[in-house]
A = this chain, B = another copy of it.
Amino acid sequence: MDHLQQSFAVRFTYNVFFTEHLFAPANSLLTDFLQSRRQEGTTQKILFVLDSGVVAHHPELPTQITSYFASVRTASLVPDLLILPGGEAAKNDPDLVEQIVDAVDRYGIDRHSYIAAVGGGSVLDLVGYAAAISHRGIRHIRIPTTVLSQNDSGVGVKNGVNYRGKKNFLGTFAPPVAVFNDLTFLTSLDDRDWRAGISEAIKVALIKDKPFFDWIEANAAALAHRDMVAMQYLVHRCAEMHLQHIAGGDPFEMGSSRPLDFGHWSAHKLEQLTNFDLRHGEAVAIGIALDSLYSHDLGWLTETEVNRILTTLHTLGFSLYHPMLDADNSVGILKGLAEFREHLGGRLTIMLLETIGKGVEVNEMDADRIRRAINTLREQELINL
């Protein structure tokens, strides 16, 4: 049959910078970046969107940003900094997407201009989405402020908002033009947010990098006590592995598998069952514990290995059981497994562990083994209380 074939590749390139005090007058990292991207004859504007939770901990931030840009000639700051609610609420309110799109319109932000988001993963997801759909994609700069966003979602290529309560129902794949990981923001996180981000590092170490898991295990107490040097290494290594995974795989997930999602199928459901009272990273820690026990039950992970994993999670301060694990099957995590299968288009793909540092994919999970793993988590929780 008569046809024309179209085929082309689009290259995406961006840097993830590590710094401290990004908006200090002496720190030229951001302005150097903007200067390097400037095209002669064009005007670069930059619109900032700030997470209200970050501003609450850093009330000086808006003034700092305004001062920082006062003497900058390579880009012109939109004087009106948008401050939007952080956390999952950022992704549940369609008006917030509209507020950003309105600002794009009002201030004439074009495809040579930038939207910079400063905040946790939810605000980055929201702003990334609004930037991606405005003018078919405005240049987007991410300045993640949590452990989780600095080492995982913030350095990746996804964005999204919820739609009628369905997580990330609306979104696109749209790489940022740059990410600036400012360690300073991590100092003001509360303990839960500090800890929650670590579970993605454990996840990636368990499926790909035994030496990294060994390091996390050895540094778990230091991390729990908020050792900044240890956290700096953890964020850097985890971000590096996340970037490698994206570049080496299927960046826009046009195929079917999602092999980095160890411990995630139950985590997604637990977040929803607890009405997002459990943070993503806290739910992932439980999911990692569950799927590690399941892998042991299959005869893959040794008992020593599974104990090392559970002990490391405990040392970091994670709680590894939640009553919602025992919710009725009709709404509980087995339902989550069915939903995950549907989400993947009917063919289930779940990552489990053959050994520490080596993940392996399976296409089915057994309800009895899941139940046994949950029982173990419940019993261990009682012992730990």
Contact = CB atoms under 8 A, between A and B. Distances in A.
A159 to B, nearest CB: 8
Contacts of A239: 4
Contacts of A105: 163-164, 166, 169
A365 interface: no
Interface in A4-63: 4-19, 29, 39-44
Contacts of A2: 17-19, 236
Q: From DSSP, what is the main secondary structure of chain A's interface residues?
A: mixed
A184 interface: no
Given A9-B9, A17-B3, A132-B172, A42 B113 contact: no
Nearest to A40: B347
Given A39-B347, A105-B164, A345-B43, A7 B13 contact: yes
A21 to B, nearest CB: 13
A196 B15 CA distance: 45
A243 interface: yes
Contacts of A3: 15-18
B342 A110 contact: yes
A4 B240 contact: yes
Given A17-B1, A342-B108, A39 B256 contact: yes
Contact of A173 (B11, B101, B137): B137
Interface of A: 1-19, 29, 39-44, 101, 105, 108, 110-113, 132-137, 155, 158, 160, 163-164, 166, 168-175, 236, 239-240, 243, 246-247, 251-254, 256, 342-347, 363
Closest 10 CB pairs of A and B: A112-B345, A41-B347, A8-B247, A42-B345, A9-B9, A7-B13, A43-B346, A2-B18, A4-B16, A3-B17
